[in-house]
């Protein structure tokens, strides 16, 4: 019976999409393949760690190992044929049982459980066939029920088995080997022979223990790689959400300002008209009431997006450095004060403004101010003593931004930043339909360029490639070696 999924707020386009069949249970064939040590089929999920996928692409490196194992198997087969001669077996039986051991070693590379069964069966057949010959054999007698080639082959098979299958399967195979040895040597027994059962089982136990340990180590490393990959993805996702929440908190003031203006205008409008009708008064009162309700809802949204730091309610910086809740959001008019503060911190800043500034929406002005602020902060943090050029170009379509710094002339200290700089710039520009690019310059500096459309119409980002030559600035200090000995381009993420 199909299982109906719970309602999640999005209706399916057809009844077939609404009723989803229950997930099938793992088939017995798949379970049997796992028990027999078969290689699982390649998964199609996209969450596989990149390191695992990279190693799967280097399967050709296994070929030399396969060749070595095949040569070892051939040597075991030839040595086993010679040792079977001490049992006075027929040539055909000796060759079959000996090459069964060699074939089991090769088969263990892909199917370790069937290889274990083949190796154990060959040993049992050889031991049972040699038992009548042990009667009257001169002392000290041949090795029985395991000879040296059989012990080596079975140990290799158990090692591959322990490396490929779960430990419970390895222990079950070891128990089966020990049980078969006890039945042949302890219950059936022979006349004159050199006992090798206890020694062989002890060797097999050590081999299984080593193989299980290496398998556990490999699984632990794989889980560590997967966990690191998941942690990195979660960190990137959390960083993105934090930047979006920060932008939303700032835009709250812009929206709240417009709603306040609407409320005030709706309240004042009846006094600007002589004898306004009752219907006009009711409509304007409704507009004012809706605006006030919208303001209240915005306050609730801001409470949900509030910063965890009480000293920084807007999430704009470190503790004690944030803006007050009632402080107005910055606009392009405050860029001069921002640049003056940057100069006071030790950077040489040159400004260049082209074109007449139109009346930009508050969101565009806020985003432009934050992008320039973050770029100057990066230059101050990563390129001390450098010279910075801030260029603003106004045109009909929107605002072009460019912040370029030369290579640092002072010692560059490790950055304590959280790595949100470039991400926040791109999120602000994308929100308005623009884009931001950042790249190092040819002379050891760094350049941040961006475009913010005036009307919010998305524009295609520039194609990836080398930066255009007109974006590079050659400052007088570009020919002097940096104090740190190595240029360190500033970014918001501790590297380009």
- Pick from 39-43, 67-71, 143-147, 272-276: least confident: 39-43
Range from 85-94, 129-138, 324-333, 396-405 that averages highest in pLDDT: 396-405
Mean pLDDT (the chain, rounded) = 76
Average pLDDT over residues 218-223: 89
First to last CA, the chain: 55
pLDDT digits 0-9 by tens, 404-462 = 999 888 677 665 555 567 888 888 888 888 999 999 998 889 999 999 998 766 555 55
Structure tokens at 463: 């194609």
CB count, 10 Å around CB of 105? Answer: 26
Supply the DSSP symbol for 352: E
Average pLDDT over residues 380-400: 89
SS3 for 426? helix
Structure tokens at 276: 């306004």
Tell me the C-alpha to C-alpha distance, in Å, between residue 42 and each of 45, 310, 320, 401: 9, 50, 53, 48
Residue with the bigger pLDDT between 94 and 308: it is: 94
Residue 50: exposure state from Cβ atoms within 10 A (0-12, 13-18, ≥19): exposed
Tell me the C-alpha to C-alpha distance, in Å, between residue 305 and each of 87, 107, 249: 84, 61, 7
CB count, 10 Å around CB of 350? Answer: 13
Question: What is the distance, to the nearest Å, from the Cα of residue 413 to the centroid of all Cα atoms in its chain?
Answer: 28
Specify the pLDDT at position 190. 74
- Which residues are CB-neighbours of 346 under 8 A, at least 6 positions away? 380, 384, 385
Structure confidence at residue 379 as a pLDDT band (50, 70, 90):
confident
Structure tokens at 356: 């007449």
Residue with the bigger pLDDT between 116 and 140: it is: 116
- Which residues are CB-neighbours of 23 under 8 A, at least 6 positions away? none
CA dihedral 282, 283, 288, 293 (to 10 degrees): 100
- Pick from 15-19, 201-205, 212-216: least confident: 15-19
Residue with the bigger pLDDT between 58 and 451: it is: 451
Average pLDDT over residues 476-480: 41
Structure confidence at residue 45 as a pLDDT band (50, 70, 90):
very low
Residue 35 has pLDDT above 60, yes or no: no
The DSSP element (H or E) to which 267 belongs, if any, is helix 197-268
Residue with the bigger pLDDT between 300 and 286: it is: 286
Structure tokens at 113: 């459980």
Count of residues in the chain: 496
What is the rounded distance in angstroms from the CA atom of residue 88 to the CA atom of residue 79? Answer: 15
What is the rounded distance in angstroms from the CA atom of residue 221 to the CA atom of residue 229? Answer: 12
Structure confidence at residue 314 as a pLDDT band (50, 70, 90):
very low
Structure tokens at 122: 């060959």
Range from 98-102, 295-299, 464-468 that averages highest in pLDDT: 98-102
E-strand ranges in 11-111 read: 19-20
Average pLDDT over residues 234-241: 78
Residue with the bigger pLDDT between 186 and 465: it is: 186
Name the residue among 280, 281, 290 with its Cα closest to residue 260. 290
What is the rounded distance in angstroms from the CA atom of residue 402 to the CA atom of residue 391? Answer: 5
- Let me know the angle formed at the C-alpha of 383 by 380 and 386, rounded to the nearest 5 degrees: 90
Specify the pLDDT at position 32. 53
Residue 236 has pLDDT above 50, yes or no: yes
Structure confidence at residue 292 as a pLDDT band (50, 70, 90):
confident
Residue 496 has pLDDT above 80, yes or no: no
Residue 468 has pLDDT above 70, yes or no: no
What is the rounded distance in angstroms from the CA atom of residue 374 to the CA atom of residue 371? Answer: 5
Specify the pLDDT at position 473. 44
């Amino acid at each position: 019976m199909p299982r109906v999924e719970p309602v999640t707020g999005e209706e399916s386009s057809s009844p077939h999409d609404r009723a989803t069949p229950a997930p099938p249970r793992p088939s017995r064939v798949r379970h049997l393949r796992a028990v027999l040590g078969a290689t699982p089929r390649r998964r199609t999920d996209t969450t596989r760690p990149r390191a695992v996928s990279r190693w799967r692409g280097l399967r050709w490196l296994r070929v030399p190992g396969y060749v070595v194992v095949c040569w070892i198997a051939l040597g075991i087969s030839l040595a086993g044929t010679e040792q079977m001669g001490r049992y006075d077996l027929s040539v055909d039986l000796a060759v079959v049982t000996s090459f069964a051991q060699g074939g089991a070693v090769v088969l263990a590379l892909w199917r370790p459980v069937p290889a274990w069964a083949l190796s154990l069966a060959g040993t049992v057949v050889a031991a049972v066939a040699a038992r009548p010959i042990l009667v009257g054999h001169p002392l000290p007698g041949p090795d029985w029920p395991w000879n040296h080639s059989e012990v080596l082959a079975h140990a290799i098979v158990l090692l591959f088995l322990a490396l490929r299958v779960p430990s419970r399967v390895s222990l079950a195979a070891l128990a089966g080997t020990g049980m078969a040895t006890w039945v042949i040597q302890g219950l059936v027994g022979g006349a004159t022979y050199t006992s090798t059962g206890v020694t062989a089982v002890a060797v097999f136990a050590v081999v299984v223990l080593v193989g299980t340990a290496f398998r556990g180590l490999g699984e632990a490393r794989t889980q560590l790689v997967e966990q690191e990959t998941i942690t990195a993805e979660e960190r990137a996702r959390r960083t993105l959400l934090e930047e979006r929440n920060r932008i939303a908190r700032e835009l709250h003031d812009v929206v709240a300002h417009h709603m306040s203006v609407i409320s005030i205008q709706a309240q004042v409008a009846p006094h600007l008209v002589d004898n306004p009708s009752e219907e006009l008064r009711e409509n304007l009162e409704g507009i004012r009431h809706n605006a006030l309700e919208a303001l209240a809802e915005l306050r609730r949204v801001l409470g949900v997006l509030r910063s965890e730091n009480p000293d920084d309610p807007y999430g704009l910086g470190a503790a004690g450095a944030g803006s007050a809740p009632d402080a107005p959001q910055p606009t392009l008019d405050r860029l001069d004060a921002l640049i003056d503060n940057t100069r006071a911190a030790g950077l040489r800043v040159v400004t260049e403004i082209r074109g007449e500034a139109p009346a930009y929406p508050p969101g565009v002005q806020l985003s432009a101010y934050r992008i320039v602020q973050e770029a100057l902060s990066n230059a101050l943090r990563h390129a001390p003593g450098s010279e910075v050029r801030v260029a603003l170009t106004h045109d009909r379509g929107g605002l072009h931004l460019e912040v370029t710094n030369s290579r640092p002339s002072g010692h560059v200290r490790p950055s304590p930043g959280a790595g949100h700089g470039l991400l926040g710039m791109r999120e602000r520009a994308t929100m308005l339909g623009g884009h931001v690019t950042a790249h190092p310059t040819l002379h050891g500096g760094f350049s941040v360029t961006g475009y913010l459309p005036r009307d919010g119409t998305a524009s295609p980002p520039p194609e990836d490639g080398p930066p255009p030559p007109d974006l590079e600035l050659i400052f007088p200090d570009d020919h002097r070696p940096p104090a740190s000995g190595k240029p360190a381009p500033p970014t918001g993420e501790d590297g380009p």
